Structure 1
Amino acid sequence: MAASIECLVSSQRPPPSYGGRRVVVDDSRLASASTPLFGVRSAHAASVSCSSRGRFESPRLAVHRSTICSASTVVDEISTKQQVKEAPVLPFRIGHGFDLHRLEPNLPLIIGGLNIPHDRGCEAHSDGDVLYHCVVDAILGALGLPDIGQLFPDSDPKWKGCTSDVFMKEAVRRMHEAGYVLGNLDATLILQRPKLSPHKEAIRANLCELLQADPSVVNLKAKTHEKVDSLGENRSIAAHTVVLLMRK
């Protein structure tokens, strides 16, 4: 922004509806101003503290060194609670999931629906599939629903030893019921051992089947924890997941 300009305002020609019986307004001299695209902080502060009682920022800032640029469309401002309620629903939603389980000897290690050979497994009320639990929470979070612990509480014997694909199917059902499909998924597993490289494609295939998604939108990564804390000492396993849901 040039040093002589304090504010840049977008504008558009108004429709030819101004005027009355006593006064006729020349439309060619009018412009509809929207929220300033750019403004120097000092100019904004001065406009707020000035004696003008104008509701919007653009007219108040106009008294400062401003320049106006033409816009093909003026973006509608959302300034009231009613406008927020009437605003269109976003065509996407984003959710994040996290899960961690303690590893104990002589238990099966289930990750992404696979039984991975290892000397330890996840201690949990269900089968302890840390990846599926994480994905479920990400989907539920994107939809603004209660988390997996509330929908499938470990206090309910019904879920004792349950395979986590049951939770996945319910999350996907709710996703479709709300009018969304999976846009993409990015998951990171954190464990010191065992190596997941030989199993990643099979795990990804299971995810794609349950999510009814193409492999191109499902990504899976595995990281060690550099032998730091319980994750790095092979005493626990964790997962992070981010999902993008798109409206059908």
Structure 2
Amino acid sequence: MAMAFMSLIPTQTRSNSLSFPSSPIFFSSQSPSHRLLPRPINPSSSSSPPSISIRASISPNPPRAATTAFDLQKDVALERSAPSLPFRIGHGFDLHRLEPGYPLIIGGISIPHDRGCEAHSDGDVLLHCVVDAILGALGLPDIGQIFPDTDPKWKGAASSVFMKEAVRLMHEAGYELGNLDATLILQRPKLSPYKESIRANLCELLGADPSVVNLKAKTHEKVDSLGENRSIAAHTVVLLMRK
């Protein structure tokens, strides 16, 4: 017995728009060429379904993933040709090992501790996380692709450099920060004495009012590497708004 599967399938027009035909389309397994055949409309129907047209940017040759900050120029230009979204949400995550002999830098602030983040750059887990959240909201490659740890020029680099580039890309794409919520996870040291300094520096790097930047710090209840003071992690969620 022949089987038919109902499917609404968009068709490409000359203007690079996606249009849904007014008649539903079905796929016939009896057709050796897998043709799409119009399904007859019930003549007793009072009116046919309306035609829906969706604008979209269609590129026959998708751009390769950017590998450096400079490669993102073309990516941002392509992003502008996509449908203009009033809001974009991004999530960032980062984790670093804690080892003796390294400075502990969080949000651009040096925190006294007997160990710090082992990393190619300064290992600022919070700024790395925020950068990834912004890049994610813009639909761009992650921080490891744009600032690879195989490139010697980023050896020991201050993470504020990465932040400034992410903020530049955000504005260039036509967005501004709506709000940011970040959570630091570490067992030690206690961050209460440093939270406001970290938040103030984060606001300065973002060019944002303190009322839209939230920072929380939690322990990991002595569970796994985070709870054993062998690592530090951070989560960040950002909301970007069209200017």
TM-score by shorter chain over 0.5:
yes
In the TM superposition, residue 60 of structure 1 has moved relative to its aligned partner by 9.1
Q: CA offsets, 1:172-215, max 9 Å, x none? A: 01001111110000000000000001000000000100100000
- Aligned pair partner of 1:104 in 90, 96, 99: 99
Q: Which runs of 5+ in 1 are unaligned?
A: 1-50, 62-76
Tell me how far apart the structure 2 counterparts of residues 126 and 229 of structure 1 sit (CA, whole Å): 25
Which residues in structure 2 correspond to 1:32-111 (within 5 Å)?
53=41, 79-80=52-53, 82-84=54-56, 89-111=84-106
Alignment partners' CA distance in 1, 2:117 and 2:184 = 14
SS at match of 2:197: helix
Aligned to 2:26: none
Q: 8 Å contact 1:187–1:240 — kept in the other structure?
A: yes
Bigger radius of gyration: 1
In the superposition, the TM-score normalised over structure 1's length comes to: 0.68
Alignment match, 2:156: 161
Structure-2-length-normalised TM-score: 0.69
From 172, 186, 195, the equivalent of 2:190 is 195
Q: Where in structure 1 do 4 or more consecutive aligned residues deviate above 6 Å? A: 58-61
Residue in structure 2 matched with residue 241 of structure 1 by the alignment: 236
Larger helix percent: 1
Does the CA contact (< 8 Å) of 2:55 and 2:83 recur in 1? no
Judged with a 3 Å threshold, the aligned counterparts in structure 2 of structure 1 residues 232 and 214 are, in CA distance, closer, same or farther, namely: same
Match of 2:240, SS state, is strand
CA deviation after TM superposition for structure 1 residue 95, in Å: 0.3
CA 1:192–1:88 in 2, change beyond 3 Å: closer, same or farther? same
Alpha-carbon separation, structure 1, partners of 2:172 and 2:119: 29
Q: CA deviation at 1:92?
A: 1.1
Identity %: 82
Displacement of 1:78 in angstroms is: 8.6
